[in-house]
Structure 1
Amino acid sequence: MIRIAICDDEETICSLVESYIANACEFLNIEAEIDLFSTGAGLRNHLKEDNRYNLFFLDIELKDDTGINISDWIRNEVKDESAQIIYVSGKKGYDRQLFAFRPFAFIEKPFDEATIRTTLEKYMRIYGNHNNLFHYKFGHDTFWVNVSSILYFKSNRRKVKMTALNAADEFYGSLDHIAEQLDGQGFFSPHKSYLVNYRYIRAFYAESILMVNGDEIPIAKSKREEVAKMQLHFENGGSLHGTHHL
């Protein structure tokens, strides 16, 4: 299931986008939950309650806010880098401002149903491929993040902290289950509490691994020899097949 938020101060536009999305989801056989917001404050308050969305449809100019300010808040305050943002507006000239928040698409008003469907189809082609996505539960909701953006996982009893590029999240789970889900995608376990994406290792040390974001991952004493062999393997141009528990 994907969760979608629509924010526009024109209720007729909100309802129209909702209708077009619902039709597109039925056509594409996608299960979706859609929430409507007529104010930026309403959307912000909902997100403050730890509600999450996979996809936002935002009007750029609202009566009480702007889609640009909301995007900035989503990326830099909520720290949500995985959600995709689609701007829906009749105004132009915002290109440079919008670029900073990595929008997925811009839909110009007036729009038709085909435009919404095409945009949703593109979203599913890119983010609906479960081979390239890691999914996890947050409360009753399921979320997805690109596997290629994940640096590492750290377990702490029943919880797992995921650190990705410019984002982090925490959820209930186990590293064993995550390792099964990510089998063959470049992850290995240098320590019983960590699962690391080899792509984002900056350096190997005797007792730890340095990630590109500056975090250090410990290497268990019992695994140091095997990690050293893996390091040598990669330095000689080898590849990582499978998800490795050393």
Structure 2
Amino acid sequence: MRIAICDDDVILCHQLEGIILGFGKNEDVPVQTSVFFDGKGLWKYMKQGNHFDLIFLDIEMEQMNGIAVGRAIRDTLGDEECKIVFISSRRDYAMELFAIRPMDFLVKPVTEEKLKAVWELYSRLYQKEQNVFYYQAKGNKNYIAFSRILYFRADNRKIEIHTIDRDVVTFYGKMSEVKRQTDAGRFIQISRSELVNYNAVEEYREHMLILRGGERLLIVASRRKTAGLQISDYMGEMMKNVGSDY
């Protein structure tokens, strides 16, 4: 597991690094850490083709702040696999961060208990993202990773899989079977015929989801309340630590 820690507080960086390496040692998980003291250095390193599985990223930095780095990772590099955990002394960034699709948000001071919760969340999400969707097409059994799926759309017995590469895969099946298989992931049903991968959502409005790449999908009136609750639950995974310091 490759982990980056980026914060202009040198002491905090080394504290986080020590705790994280301890988690890996205790659970026999190989961990390789890289430490950066400003966002510009991290961004330069990633532009050279270096990838991280997980990044702890401070928001308030003078040389390229964490939000700018996060946007560059998602939009310029197109890297959706890397999990980002933002760190801040403030609690009012939630809506700004939505489009960057962070895994979590930690409020300073960052304790070992908070880091442990992030470590466990990453482990759960990693297991989910290893799941794949199986389907039959032209007599063959095929599969596609959840992480590559934007959404499913049903048209009678025909199911379309819209992918992050803008390809459309078609097979015959039932939406009920699609839902059953995707229960292990984070998918939102926005209409009788459409099921959307939450990790593909860049912006949420009460009546609409805007996906990576700009595609807009309407949420039918009968699904808006349920879809909103699902999104709140998934956002809650990120924000669960925000109120714990009061």
Answer whether TM exceeds 0.5 for this pair: yes
Q: CA offsets, 1:191-213, max 9 Å, x none? A: 99x86579856479xxxx96425
- How do 1:145-160 residues align onto structure 2 when only pairs under 5 Å count? 147=131
Give the letter aligned to residue 110 of structure 1. Answer: P
**Gaps spanning 5+ residues in structure 2: where?**
182-246
Contact 2:154/2:175 (8 A) holds in 1: no
Equivalent-residue separation in structure 1 for 2:104 and 2:47 (angstroms): 25
Change (3 A) 1:37 1:203: same
Question: What residue in structure 1 maps to residue 29 of structure 2?
Answer: 30
Q: CA offsets, 1:166-199, max 9 Å, x none? A: xxxxxxxxxxxxxxxx6xx41456599x865798
Corresponding residue to 1:215 among 159, 167, 173: 167
- TM (normalized to structure 2)? 0.59
- TM (normalized to structure 1)? 0.59
Change (3 A) 1:190 1:62: farther
Question: Would you say how many aligned residue pairs link Structure 1 and Structure 2?
Answer: 173
Q: CA offsets, 1:208-243, max 9 Å, x none? A: x964255255x9xxxxxxx7xxx2xx259778xx9x
Question: What residue in structure 1 maps to residue 134 of structure 2?
Answer: 186
Equivalent-residue separation in structure 2 for 1:73 and 1:42 (angstroms): 13
Question: What residue in structure 1 maps to residue 203 of structure 2?
Answer: none
Equivalent-residue separation in structure 2 for 1:235 and 1:104 (angstroms): 31
Structure with greater helix percent: 2
Percent identical across equivalent pairs? 29
Contact 1:189/1:196 (8 A) holds in 2: no
CA drift at 1:55 = 0.6
Equivalent-residue separation in structure 1 for 2:125 and 2:175 (angstroms): 33
Task: Quote the RMSD (CA, aligned, Å).
Answer: 3.4
Contact 2:162/2:168 (8 A) holds in 1: no
Equivalent-residue separation in structure 2 for 1:21 and 1:37 (angstroms): 15
**Gaps spanning 5+ residues in structure 1: where?**
135-146, 148-181, 220-226
Contact 1:74/1:80 (8 A) holds in 2: yes
Equivalent-residue separation in structure 1 for 2:175 and 2:123 (angstroms): 37
Larger Rg: 1
